[in-house]
């Protein structure tokens, strides 16, 4: 893995704003996700190419379309439950980012009942905001963090095995705020 002067992978962008929020971006996310979709869910990839045919190298447009589909529920085949909120998503996208969900959904059946197409509720584990951050990363390759949320986000990454996010983050998520 190539590293920059700060020891971070060159495919990672880290931006801190004046409010203390940090945006961590994985520039390899589309490549990783599209390779996974080719292997695991060719139908979703075909639908995506029909709606967003001009594939740029970074896949930004394709990621935007997928994220919009998540937000509107288009072609979603799974949901995460937190409290009284339900977050629709695509099994293949979630599985590409999370080894936990990849393993859990390995034997997922398309003809499963609606109850079988849900995970949760996760009320006691993580807040809806943390789950949204993990979904945002899964769909965009970007995650916005604050000093106040970094511990919960880090724990959720370990719990659900978001290994790429753990790999690209500094050795300690808290290192982000040291200047």
CATH of the domain at 137: 3.30.710.10
In a domain, 8, yes or no: no
Question: Which residue has better confidence, 122 or 6?
Answer: 122
Average the pLDDT over 1-17 and give the result. 64
15 torsion bin: left (phi>0), alpha (psi -120 to 50), beta (else)? beta
Q: In the predicted model, is pLDDT for residue 42 greater than 60?
A: yes
Domain that holds residue 40: 26-177
Question: 142-170 burial, b if ≥16 CB within 10 A, otherwise e?
Answer: bbbbeeebbebbbebbeebbbebbeebbb
pLDDT score at 88: 95
In a domain, 99, yes or no: yes
Tokens of 95: 């599985």
Biggest CA pair distance of the chain: 51
Q: Provide the edge-to-edge strand list for the sheet that holds 78-82.
A: 85-89, 78-82, 118-119
Rounded-to-integer distance, Cα 3 and Cα 136, Å: 25
> What confidence tier does 13 reach under pLDDT thresholds 50, 70, 90?
confident
In a domain, 11, yes or no: no
In a domain, 70, yes or no: yes
Summarised one tens digit per residue, pLDDT across range 58-86 is 688 889 999 999 999 999 988 999 988 99
pLDDT score at 2: 36
In a domain, 133, yes or no: yes
Average the pLDDT over 158-169 and give the result. 90
Number of domains in the chain: 1
In a domain, 9, yes or no: no
Question: Which residue has better confidence, 159 or 49?
Answer: 159
Residue 157 vs residues 77, 101, 104: alpha-carbon distances, Å: 22, 12, 16
In a domain, 48, yes or no: yes
pLDDT score at 74: 94
Rounded-to-integer distance, Cα 179 and Cα 166, Å: 20
pTM of the full structure:
0.85
In a domain, 14, yes or no: no
Rounded-to-integer distance, Cα 3 and Cα 15, Å: 17
């Amino acid at each position: 893995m190539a590293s920059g002067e700060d020891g971070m992978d060159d495919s990672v962008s880290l931006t801190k704003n004046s409010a203390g929020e940090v945006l961590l971006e994985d520039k390899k996310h589309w490549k990783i996700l599209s390779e996974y979709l080719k292997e695991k869910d060719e139908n979703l990839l075909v639908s995506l190419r029909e709606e967003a045919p001009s594939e740029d190298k970074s896949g930004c447009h394709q990621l935007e379309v997928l994220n919009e589909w998540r937000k509107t529920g288009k072609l979603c085949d799974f949901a995460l439950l937190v409290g009284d909120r339900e977050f629709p998503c695509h099994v293949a996208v979630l599985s590409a980012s999370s080894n936990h969900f990849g393993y859990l959904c390995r034997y997922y059946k398309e003809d499963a009942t609606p109850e079988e197409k849900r995970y949760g509720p996760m009320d006691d584990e993580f807040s809806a905001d943390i789950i949204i951050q993990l979904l945002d990363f899964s769909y965009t390759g970007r995650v916005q963090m604050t000093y106040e949320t970094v511990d919960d986000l880090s724990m959720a990454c370990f719990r659900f095995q978001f290994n790429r996010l753990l790999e690209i983050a500094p050795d300690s998520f808290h290192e982000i705020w040291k200047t």
